[in-house]
Structure formats: C-alpha cells, structure tokens
C-alpha cells in the first residue's frame, strides 16, 4: 500500500510540474506571438536631420564636405574607435568614392559611398552596414547660403528596419539617438571650419 501511495504521489507531482511547464511554455509562446503581432503595426522607416550655421562661404564649406576623408575630422563615429581600420576606394570627393571601415563593437564594419553630388548644394551617400547587423541607409549633406560669409549645413539620415526588428523602434527613439551624434558632429565641423 505504501508503494502505491508513493507512486500516486509521484505521479500527481509529475503531472503538476508537467502542467506548470506547459503553462510556462504557452505563456512564452503567447508573449512572442504578441510581440510579432505588435511589430506589424510599428513603422519600419526612420529618419533624423540636424542643421548648423557655419561662418564660412558656401563654396568653401561644400568643398570640405565632399571629402570622405575629411569626415574623420568631425564625425563622432571615427572618434569612438581610434584603432579603426579605414580604406578609401576611388577618387575622394567624387561620385563612386567609397570609405570602408572595420572597428570595435561600437562602430562595427561597413562602408559609405558617394552616390550623387549636386555641386554646391547636396551630397548623397549610401551607408552599408555589415556588422553588428546588415542594413543599408541613405544619408545626405546639404549647404545653403545664409549670406556671403555664412552657410547652413544640414545632415540627414534615413533607413528602414525589417520586420520584426522594427519592434526595437518602440523602445528606441532613432531621431534622438542619431540626432545627438549629428549635433556633436556638426558642432565639431563648425569648430574646424569657423577657425
């Protein structure tokens, strides 16, 4: 009789744990399903844009901005890894020139290509990130004369997060995150060119 009682107790104990495990697994599956459904309603596209006025004529500012090599002097990302490996392919400041980088976890691995230049007005770039994750984004720099001795520079960026990665946008404000780096970079640019 004692054996039977122990067997029944063990069986009931096993049943309770199995039911509890099923409930836990169903709960996890339910949460994942809810997150995947929520991601269907989260915008995939993001953008950021910042501007600054530099006390130099537009032609001088634009000539400086065209150079991918000059970006190392003012962009914040280059400063986040002083040992970052850089390579330039093509003629700097012309369409088709590519800047490649490979750095620490913060800057990752990727490349930037000049896709179009509207002389004196706008430079369009394509950013191709390889690590920590693959993505392609668009960026641009524009110059607008405020007067003969000062220029408004605008730096913009846009991209898209694939489903279900776009769910991260709920927890991260891309405009704020990227915008801070743009503000710092433009401030660095102003400090260099205003001298």
The pLDDT tens digits for 91-148 are 999 999 999 999 888 889 999 999 999 999 999 999 999 988 788 889 999 999 999 9
Q: Which region among 15-29, 47-61, 69-83 has the lowest average model confidence (pLDDT)?
A: 15-29
For residues 45-67, give the mean pLDDT.
92
pLDDT for the residue numbered 166: 61
Region 40-66 average pLDDT: 88
Calculate the alpha carbon distances from 112 to 43, 51, 72, 166 in Å.
25, 21, 12, 23
- pLDDT for res 5: 58
Could you tell me which of 132, 172, 135 has the C-alpha nearest to residue 42?
172
Amino acid 12: pLDDT: 60
Domain ranges for the chain: 1-41, 44-193
Residue 9 has pLDDT above 80, yes or no: no
Q: What is the pLDDT of residue 105?
A: 85
What pLDDT, on the 0 to 100 scale, is given for residue 136?
87
Quick: pLDDT tens for 12-52: 666 566 776 677 777 777 777 776 676 667 677 777 899 99
For the four alpha carbons of 27, 30, 32 and 34, in that order, the dihedral sign comes to negative
* Structure confidence at residue 39 (pLDDT): 62
pTM to 2 decimal places: 0.73
Q: In this predicted structure, what is the pLDDT of residue 96?
A: 96
Q: Which CATH superfamily is domain 44-193 in?
A: START domain (3.30.530.20)
Give the whole-angstrom CA distance, residue 86 versus residue 33.
Answer: 42
- Residue 154 pLDDT > 80: yes
Q: How confident is the model at residue 2 (pLDDT cuts 50, 70, 90)?
A: low
SS (H, E, C) 61-90: HHHHHCCCCCHHHHCHHHHCCCCCEEEEEC
| Confidence (pLDDT) at 143 | 97
């Amino acid at each position: 009789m004692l054996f039977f009682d122990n067997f029944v107790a063990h069986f009931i104990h096993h049943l309770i744990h199995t039911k509890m495990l099923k409930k836990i697994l169903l709960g996890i599956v339910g949460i994942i399903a809810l997150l995947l459904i929520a991601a269907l309603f989260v915008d995939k596209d993001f953008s950021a844009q910042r501007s600054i006025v530099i006390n130099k004529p537009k032609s001088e500012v634009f000539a400086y901005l065209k150079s991918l090599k000059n970006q190392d002097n003012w962009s914040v990302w280059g400063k986040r890894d002083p040992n970052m490996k850089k390579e330039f392919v093509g003629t700097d400041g012309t369409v088709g020139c590519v800047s490649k980088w490979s750095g620490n976890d913060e800057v990752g691995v990727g490349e930037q290509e000049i896709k179009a230049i509207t002389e004196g007005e706008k430079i369009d770039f394509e950013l191709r990130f390889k690590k920590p994750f693959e993505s392609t984004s668009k960026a641009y720099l524009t110059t607008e004369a405020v007067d003969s001795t000062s220029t408004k520079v605008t730096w913009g960026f846009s991209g898209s997060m694939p489903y279900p990665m776009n769910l991260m946008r709920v927890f991260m404000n891309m405009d704020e995150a990227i915008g801070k780096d743009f503000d710092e970079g433009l401030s660095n640019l102003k400090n260099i060119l205003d001298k």
